[in-house]
Amino acid sequence: MQILRTPDSRFENLADYPFAPHYTTIQTEDGSELRIHHLDEGPADGPLVLCMHGQPVWSYLYRKVIPYLTAAGMRVIAPDLVGYGKSDKPAAREDYSYERQVEWMGAWLNANDFSNITFFGQDWGGLIGLRMIVNDADRFDRVVISNTGLPYNPDVPGSVVKEVENFRANAPTPSLAEMQKNISSMDSNGQPAQRFAYWQKWCWENEDMPIGFIMSMMMERPSKPMQVLKFLLHKLGVVSPLPSPLAKAYEAPFPDASYKMGPRAMPSQVPTLPTSPSLEEQRKAWGFFDAFNKPFLCAFADNDPVTRAMEPVFKKRVPGAQGQPHRTIKKGGHFVQENAPDQVAQAIIDLIRPS
């Protein structure tokens, strides 16, 4: 396995990220060594909160949440998924299967021997983290999820499967505007797999995926004139036009396009169709959560069309979700950690230490 490692110099002088790095080395199936980075903040004897990020971000996403949790006496562990942040980055598309990410992060968890965990996961952090809970249930005491899911779709009509597969294989690469339009309407009528395919295809077919740019546009919402200027520069080929400190931070893990295989490949691994190689593992995972009695809290945003339909499924099916103080994150967007860190932290704190 070819593995890339981002130089430390890329992470110097990042805004609002004063945290010391911690590293764990695991072995892959072929004997390669993978170094996985995590943050470890707060009192060593405090209640342990494991915070997992998604795609295309890294533990920088938790820089605003961590101070709220540590001020409440919590110990916060925030890893970078393989392919992201300060963790190593395998160079091939096939390295980034859903099952490999679950395996790698499970090996990291066991190497660190964390226990009595309160889990928080969002986006891919939830997809991977929930599967880690299935595999190591005794290590986890309670669960908080936001804007994520555990996709299992065995009954998608064959006509839709063919449509999505044909689109991903043969359609022109969607523009940024086309992708955004379809993602923003995922919870409208129709099959969400058809709309999510725009994100899958856009990520994969943009070899130098403009991660810092799209994160800045989503989170900072610059003025109209600045938006127009940035989009114009992007259309002219500038990967990160006029980057803000936030844009620089989210682009930092990727010195060039070769480092971006994880963020590009992983959307295509979301098991939205019954043809997914993870279908059986997802079925087993839902069997586990259908009997999960530990506290299970939903804290989804009120304005995230990508995951809105998933929240009621967890509330209905997971026994541990019954009677919990579920809450709606107001104006959290998809990345609630950026837009509403105080609300996110309070949801976690209140589950660990109910008033």
Residues marked as catalytic: 123, 304, 334
Contact in structure between 148 and 172 (CB atoms under 8 Å): no
Contact in structure between 4 and 258 (CB atoms under 8 Å): yes
Strand runs labelled E in the chain: 3-4, 22-27, 33-41, 48-52, 75-79, 89-90, 117-122, 140-146, 296-298
Residue (of 25, 55, 59) closest to 39 by Cα position: 59
Distance CA 93, CA 24 (A): 23
Q: Which residues pair with 37 in a beta bridge?
A: 23
Distance CA 149, CA 138 (A): 21
Query: DSSP character for 78?
Result: E
Assign 187 to helix, strand or coil: coil
Assign 145 to helix, strand or coil: strand
CA 165, 169, 53, 108 torsion: positive or negative? positive
Q: Is 242 left (phi over 0), alpha (psi -120 to 50) or beta?
A: left
Burial class (CB in 10 A: 0-12, 13-18, 19+), 229: middle
- Token pair for residue 238? 């500038």
Residue (of 129, 168, 134, 133) closest to 273 by Cα position: 168
Residue (of 184, 218, 242, 221) closest to 337 by Cα position: 218
Distance CA 355, CA 134 (A): 29
